[in-house]
């Protein structure tokens, strides 16, 4: 009910004014620049992810090439290969958390600003997405844990690098063994190198393999990818 000092149509006029302000040229221009800025930021972090992946691939390729080039190179060199790749994975997972935090802002703008603009539907602009974006701008926070970041990078890239290192390690032992390996006992004995016992090499090998597979499966079941495999109306996108 309208009061004496407030005209009856004031509330409706304010509502219409607020709805129109959403498509105000100044507001749209500011939000467009904000979207472009956030998009550019995640592209920078995406490129940084590619750099660490390239380092891991390059170092692994170099070590595998060196190990197979001569018999005198001990197979324990793959232990250092694993250490390098684990280091690159940790660095990349940290970078991925930053990438994911800024990517969440971009997705928020795409879902709650660009989609209503394209659909020309003001009712889709409801919700507290503006408040969430503002809070994240004032106090930025990560959206995923460290374990989830490591698991996502393992699932996307590093699991293949680790499997390649494991296969190369076993192949190196078979090819350059000092004695024929005709049983599991002889293979286990060939794992020893210098003062490093076989049980330690086997523990590192099995532990790394189990950890990589375990994290990949666990995170794969708990999270989803950035893009779904098959979206709705997929046939309409065929060219």
Per-residue pLDDT reduced to its tens digit, 109-134: 888 888 877 777 766 666 678 888 88
**Least trusted range by pLDDT, from 76-90, 149-163, 210-224:** 210-224
For the full predicted model, state whether its pTM sits above 0.85: no
Domain range holding 205? 23-224
Q: In this structure, are residues 82 and 204 in contact, taking their beta carbons and an 8 Å threshold? A: yes
pLDDT band at 230 (very low <50, low <70, confident <90, very high): low
* pLDDT value, residue 185: 85
Classify residue 3: in a domain, yes or no. Answer: no
Classify residue 231: in a domain, yes or no. Answer: no
What one-character DSSP code corresponds to residue 182?
-
Classify residue 102: in a domain, yes or no. Answer: yes
Calculate the dihedral angle through the C-alpha atoms of 147, 150, 151, 152, rounding to the nearest 10 degrees.
120
Classify residue 17: in a domain, yes or no. Answer: no
Q: How far is it, in rounded angstroms, from Cα 167 to Cα 176? A: 14
Per-residue pLDDT reduced to its tens digit, 74-111: 888 999 999 999 999 999 999 999 999 999 888 888 88
Classify residue 234: in a domain, yes or no. Answer: no
* pLDDT value, residue 126: 64
Classify residue 4: in a domain, yes or no. Answer: no
pLDDT band at 57 (very low <50, low <70, confident <90, very high): very high
Residue 161's nearest CA partner among 217, 219, 83, 98 is 83
Classify residue 133: in a domain, yes or no. Answer: yes
β-pair partners for 196: 193
Q: How many domains does the chain have?
A: 1
Neighbouring CB atoms inside 10 A of 65's CB total 10
Classify residue 239: in a domain, yes or no. Answer: no
């Amino acid at each position: 009910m309208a009061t004496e000092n407030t005209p009856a149509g004031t509330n409706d006029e304010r509502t219409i004014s607020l709805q129109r302000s959403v498509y105000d040229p100044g507001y749209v221009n500011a939000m467009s620049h904000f979207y472009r800025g956030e998009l550019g930021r995640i592209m920078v972090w995406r490129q940084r992810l590619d750099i660490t992946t390239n380092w891991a691939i390059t170092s692994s390729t170099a070590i595998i090439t060196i190990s197979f080039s001569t018999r005198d190179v001990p197979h324990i060199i793959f232990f250092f290969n694993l250490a390098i790749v684990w280091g690159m994975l940790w660095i990349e997972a940290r970078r991925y958390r930053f990438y994911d935090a800024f990517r969440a802002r971009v997705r928020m703008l795409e879902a709650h600003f660009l989609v209503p603009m394209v659909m020309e539907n003001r009712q889709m602009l409801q919700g507290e997405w503006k408040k969430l974006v503002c809070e994240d701008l004032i106090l930025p926070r990560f959206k995923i844990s460290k374990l989830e970041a490591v698991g996502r990078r393992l699932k996307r890239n590093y699991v293949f690098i680790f499997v390649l290192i494991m296969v190369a390690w076993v192949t190196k032992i078979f090819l350059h063994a000092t004695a024929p390996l005709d049983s599991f006992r002889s293979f286990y004995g060939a794992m020893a190198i210098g003062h490093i016992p076989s049980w330690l090499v086997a523990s590192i090998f099995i532990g790394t393999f189990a950890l990589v597979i375990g994290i990949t499966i666990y995170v794969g079941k708990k999270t989803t990818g950035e893009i779904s495999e098959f979206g709705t109306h997929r046939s309409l996108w065929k060219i």
